[in-house]
């Protein structure tokens, strides 16, 4: 399946979550076994060398888990606060109107592990940048981040490059 055929499984929902927004919905892609498998294979082909995958809550868990299965690598999860049962480390980051926090189990990333960051969408890059900071705080390194799609014209890719992380997106759509 080509990337154009994968893109055909992304539904456009106008005016969600508010008027003027064209939301790119990945649920039809997830619901189609062949498209989901092709997406996972395309991500795996671009993954490069790494020791461990970090999936960002929530849809990064789906694509990260599929990629971990396909590559035989482990998966750690980057979560919103209060969701992990053992000792955690956290990183607070700025949003347009306020702050948010990401957490990771304190023992999730082995020292010097090369971590591949995975999420569904790259837009402003705030969450991905915070996840990179958190993984580095845990003792790992991040050189590459994979996304199913990127919303062009937003600063996400540039923010990651400024952190020394190569962003790779399978699909690109206008913001």
Domain boundaries, the chain: 49-174
Q: What is the pLDDT of residue 81?
A: 96
Which pTM does this prediction carry? 0.96
Catalytic pick from 46, 57, 59, 136? 59
Topology of domain 49-174, CATH: Rossmann fold (3.40.50)
Q: What is the pLDDT of residue 94?
A: 87
Task: Please say if 101 is a catalytic residue.
Answer: no
10-residue mean pLDDT profile of the chain (175 residues): values are 98 95 96 98 98 97 98 98 97 87 97 97 96 97 98 96 98 94
Task: Please say if 103 is a catalytic residue.
Answer: no
Q: What is the pLDDT of residue 95?
A: 79
Catalytic pick from 11, 24, 46, 96? 96
Q: What is the pLDDT of residue 117?
A: 98
Q: What is the pLDDT of residue 103?
A: 98
Closest CA relative to residue 91, chosen from 55, 58, 131: 131
Report CA dihedral (47, 60, 112, 86) to the nearest 10 degrees.
-160
Q: pLDDT, tens digit, for every residue of 10-50?
A: 999 999 999 999 999 999 999 999 999 999 999 999 999 99
């Amino acid at each position: 399946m080509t990337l154009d055929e994968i893109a055909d499984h992304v539904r456009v929902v106008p005016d969600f979550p508010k008027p003027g927004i064209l939301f790119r919905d990945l649920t039809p892609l997830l619901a189609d076994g062949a498209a989901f498998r092709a997406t996972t294979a395309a991500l795996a082909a671009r993954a490069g060398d790494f020791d461990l995958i970090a999936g960002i809550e929530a849809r990064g868990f789906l694509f990260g888990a599929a990629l971990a299965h396909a590559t035989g690598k482990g998966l750690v999860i980057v979560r919103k606060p209060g969701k992990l049962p053992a000792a955690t480390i956290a990183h607070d980051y700025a949003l347009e109107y306020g702050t948010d926090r990401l957490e990771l189990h304190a023992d999730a990333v082995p020292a010097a592990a090369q971590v591949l960051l995975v999420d569904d969408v790259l837009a402003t890059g705030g969450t991905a940048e915070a996840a990179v900071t958190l993984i580095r705080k845990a003792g790992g390194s991040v050189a590459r981040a994979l996304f199913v799609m990127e919303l062009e014209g937003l600063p996400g890719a540039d923010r990651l490059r400024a952190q020394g992380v190569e962003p790779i997106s399978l699909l690109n759509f206008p913001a």
